Structure 1
Amino acid sequence: MSRITAIAFLLITLAGCTDEQRIAALENQLEAKQATIERLENEHHEALRESERRIDELQTELASLKNGVWFQQHRAGIARACDWVVPSCPPSWIEGGRKALAQGFSGTWSWWFWLVIFLKLILVPFLLAGLIATYAYWVRPARTEVERVAAELKELQSNKAGERKELKALAEELERRQKEEAELETRVSAFQRHRQQLKSEIENLEKKKRNLRGGF
């Protein structure tokens, strides 16, 4: 996009020049842009090569350090201290240290060992106090609240069961009344048919009666 903008700007600025001059200026501009792009690409590739070389060096140094005695002793010291009395470190942190202990590294002279032991001696009482306080101020009230909510839920479920029974009874009553209405409609229809039949018979009798009177 910047290249197109530069070309457009160049075309506008060269509006008064001849075609040959415009073409020459445009070609010079394009060559300069291409040279800049190539230079930046070369610098980028060189920086990538330098970064890869530095990464390889660091990886080599790290591998050498990990294989060193000091590193293994420190790992063993951390693992031994973390497992002291009460295991208090994630297994992923001390897996390598446990392997170092198995290989014969003691780790007791590592300052990491004594630092972790010191921190455990200091922090354990505070952790216990924190757990007790947490239970007293949070866990116990929360448990009481949970029990209260459970009781309310049980009561609501009981009420819901009662409401379901009432709804079932109402549904049965509604169904019974619908059946009664259907039977009543059937009886009314039968009564109307019987009434119509009686009416027809009465009309026939009246007709016969008039005929008899007319004969005399």
Structure 2
Amino acid sequence: MAGLGEKERRDHAMLVGVVTLGWNRAVHQLLRAFTHLTGVESPLADVIFFGSRSDNAQRQMLARVAKTVDLTSKERDRLIPSIRRLDKAAVTRNAATHTIFGVTAYDRVTDRWGVKVLPLLDQTERSRLKEDFEAQFREVESELGAIYQELEDWLIATPIRHAPGPDRRFHWRRRPRWRGLARRPSSTRSRPMARPRRTMTLVERRRILVRAV
């Protein structure tokens, strides 16, 4: 048998979860925009972008990158407002995520009896909640979905930009550990091995000798 307010608690948890998922999708779009502008790909892009655990710092960094690379004014004017919209949505998202809620059978504000989910503590986030916070959460979930789609449209319409440099490209391809490995001699007389470009371990030397024999 379910306890008092079990249904209300689950419904509220689902609503907070929907807001959280919508937020995470929007943040991932910001990461994609960062990769789009800089040419730095994952996992390095993840390390740089999430180097700051502050969501606000991540958004501000992306805005500075957008102002630094050679975007057209139209492309920049489409991206910056999306970041600002996410700034506003963060207020309600933080309230939904960090406010401690509980189930009560009596609402002191309305002076009515009935099972209801309410904030338990007088926290900073509580001041950001509207009286009908459930409608507030549904509204911000819809807003986060719109921001996600707006950023998706921007990614599709904006040509890929790379970081400045001589050839304007990043080179993250893995290079060989060393070059000039000895080839199998054409005659029975052994040939000297090419000098490696780094100091090799004893095991590596033995492997080269076995290959050369």
Same fold at TM > 0.5 = no
With normalisation by structure 1, the TM-score equals 0.25
Report which of the two structures shows the higher radius of gyration computed on alpha carbons.
1
Higher helix share: 1
Higher strand share: 2
With normalisation by structure 2, the TM-score equals 0.25
